[in-house]
């Protein structure tokens, strides 16, 4: 069972709606009920908080999140038990539970490590399934819940950590398998056709090397697929490591277009542990121990050019350590589950939200707007049509303090 900030049942909600229609606008609301409309709009944009009804320390609710339109999925990643995934339907300031999916094997603790929606399908990554070969299971809505319709690992010949990362868009599901082939890694593209979800391509660098971890994270935009390889390094051990490989769909299939190597880095920085992609832009997470280490690449005149949203914040106090990224349209969400204060003290995490315009990037604020002390908000992020979902799985410091986790949903 789960609780949300809104507790009205369907009968009462329907009754209130009918009453509002019968009574008409509030006479004191101003011309044409403008004040009432403003109030309803404000209520529809109010934050929604999801949390377990019966919390357990270290439960990890919010370990992974996904959103598509009004559909939201959240992983409940209990350390001492298997994980499961809960789904909700957003209706204004209310999140209605729409069911849950559980792993086929109750000992499968990594179920839901990655989540994605595509055209009503829910893709759930389980990289430690099947003795570590990994699996991605696809679920379709059925009655009051979900039913498993397909598993993608067998098509790909999964061998190691298949499902560590999952992304979806443009009618495709992309799956990362970073431990495949002595951790050289691979990414698999599946497309929906008349025969269901079928393997369209296997992506790998032309010069794949053991230890690349290609497929550690994946992202889909309207024009490209971006695949992170945090293990890719040059001959100099002190030089920054980590690359993002960009592929586009050509006439002959998926073609490697570019290799993005952040240049504005610290000595020995290891980048590319998270990636997000939008139209003509790829965001790359930098080193998890360098504050606000975020690298941006924008496509200008056919070439990928490095940029930055707020260069003055790189390594600055009172900033976070980038762990998760998501992008939709012109909104970029940067998940930083640990923030540092001016004296290096711990502060609650958050997701910072940026909007891109013709003049650059503007920070719109944080989600959640009001910080919570133990939630590690920003561990997971997702965005769709201006609605931002931020997971805070709830462990401040293992063995010292722990929470059960929660998820905050806000609109920008």
Do 22 and 62 share a domain, yes or no?
no
d(Cα 356, Cα 354) in Å, to the nearest integer? 7
Q: Is the peptide bond before 368 cis (omega within 30 degrees of 0)?
A: yes
Residues 241 and 321 in one domain: yes
Instruction: Say yes or no to pLDDT of 30 above 50.
Output: no
**Residues 6 and 131 placed together within one structural domain of the fold:** no
Best CA proximity match to 390, nearest among 66, 45, 88, 92:
66
Q: How much is the average pLDDT of 369-388?
A: 86
Q: Within this chain, do residues 8 and 124 fall inside the same structural domain, yes or no? A: no
Instruction: State how far the Cα of 330 lies from the Cα of 397, in Å rounded to an integer.
Output: 34
Comparing C-alpha atoms, which of 321, 258, 318 is closest to residue 294?
A: 321
Q: Dihedral of CA 120/392/83/176: which sign?
A: positive
Kindly state whether residues 254 and 401 are assigned to the same domain: yes
**Alpha-carbon dihedral sign for residues 175, 178, 179, 184:** positive
Say what the pTM is: 0.87
1 with 98, same domain: the answer is: no
Task: Render pLDDT for 91-149 as a digit per residue (tens, 0 to 9).
Answer: 988 999 999 999 888 778 899 999 999 999 999 999 999 999 999 999 999 988 999 99
Decide if pLDDT at 90 tops 90: yes
Q: What is the DSSP pairing of strand 145-151 with strand 165-169?
A: unpaired
R_g (Cα) of the chain, nearest Å: 21
- Of the CA atoms within 13 Å of residue 81, those in its CB half-sphere come to 12
Q: What is the dihedral of CA 370, 333, 264, 180, to 10 degrees?
A: 120
Residue 378 CA to residue 355 CA, distance in Å, equals 17
Q: What was the pLDDT predicted at 122?
A: 98
Q: How many CB atoms lie within 10 A of CB 117?
A: 21
In total, how many domains does the chain have? 2
d(CA 270, CA 256): 22
Domain identity same for 310 and 357: yes
pLDDT single digits (tens) 149-187? 999 999 999 999 999 999 999 999 999 999 999 999 999
Q: What is the DSSP letter of 379?
A: S
Tell me: do 64 and 40 sit in the same domain.
no
- What is the domain extent for residue 352? 53-411
Same domain, 37 and 163: no
- pLDDT tens profile 204-219: 998 999 999 999 999 9
The verdict on 57 and 40 lying in the same domain is no
Q: What is the pLDDT of residues 115-127, one digit of tens each?
A: 999 999 999 999 9
Q: Verify that 12 and 72 share a domain, yes or no.
A: no
Q: Are residues 212 and 186 both part of a single domain?
A: yes
- CATH no. for residue 129? 2.130.10.130
Q: Are 277 and 327 in contact (CB under 8 A)?
A: yes
Strand order of the β-sheet with 71-77 is 61-68, 71-77, 83-91, 94-101
Distance CA 314, CA 317 (A): 9
Q: Do the Cβ atoms of 379 and 355 come closer than 8 Å?
A: no
Task: Please check whether residue 160 is in contact with residue 211, taking contact to mean a CB–CB distance below 8 angstroms.
Answer: no
């Amino acid at each position: 069972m789960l609780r949300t900030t809104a507790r009205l049942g369907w009968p009462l909600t329907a009754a209130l709606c009918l009453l509002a229609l019968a009574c008409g606008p509030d006479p004191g609301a101003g011309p044409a009920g403008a004040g009432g409309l403003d109030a309803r709009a404000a209520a529809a944009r109010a934050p929604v908080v999801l949390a377990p009804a019966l919390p357990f320390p270290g439960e990890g609710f919010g370990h992974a999140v996904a959103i598509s339109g009004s559909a939201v999925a959240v992983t409940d990643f209990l350390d001492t038990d298997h994980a499961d995934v809960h789904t909700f339907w957003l209706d204004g300031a209310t999140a209605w539970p729409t069911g849950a999916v559980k792993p086929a094997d109750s000992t499968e603790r990594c179920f839901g490590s990655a989540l994605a929606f595509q055209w009503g399908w829910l893709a759930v990554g389980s990289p430690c399934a099947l003795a570590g070969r990994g699996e991605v299971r696809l679920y379709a809505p059925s009655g009051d819940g979900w039913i498993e319709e397909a598993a993608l690992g067998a098509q790909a010949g999964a061998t190691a950590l298949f499902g560590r990362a999952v992304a979806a868009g443009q009618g495709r599901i992309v799956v990362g398998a970073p431990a495949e082939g002595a951790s050289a890694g691979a990414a698999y593209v599946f497309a929906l056709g008349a025969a269901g979800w079928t393997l369209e391509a296997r992506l790998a660098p032309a010069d794949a090397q053991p230890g690349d971890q290609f497929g550690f994270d994946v992202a889909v935009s309207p024009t490209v697929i971006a695949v992170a390889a945090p293990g890719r390094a040059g001959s100099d051990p002190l030089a920054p490591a980590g690359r993002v490989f960009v592929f586009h769909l050509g006439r002959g299939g998926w073609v490697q277009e570019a290799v993005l190597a952040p240049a504005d880095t610290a000595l020995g920085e290891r980048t590319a542990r998270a990636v997000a992609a939008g139209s003509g832009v790829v965001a790359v997470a930098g080193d998890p121990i360098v504050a606000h280490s975020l690298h941006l690449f924008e496509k200008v005149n056919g070439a990928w050019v490095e940029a930055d949203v707020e260069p003055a914040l790189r390594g600055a106090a009172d900033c976070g350590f980038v762990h998760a990224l998501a992008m939709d349209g012109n909104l970029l969400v940067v998940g930083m589950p640990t923030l540092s204060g001016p004296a290096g003290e711990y502060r609650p995490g958050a997701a910072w939200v940026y909007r891109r315009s013709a003049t650059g990037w503007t920070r719109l604020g944080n989600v959640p707007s009001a910080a919570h002390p133990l939630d590690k908000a920003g561990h997971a992020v997702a965005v769709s049509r201006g609605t931002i979902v931020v997971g805070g799985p709830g462990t401040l410091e293992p063995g010292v303090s722990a929470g059960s986790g929660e998820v905050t949903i806000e609109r920008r």
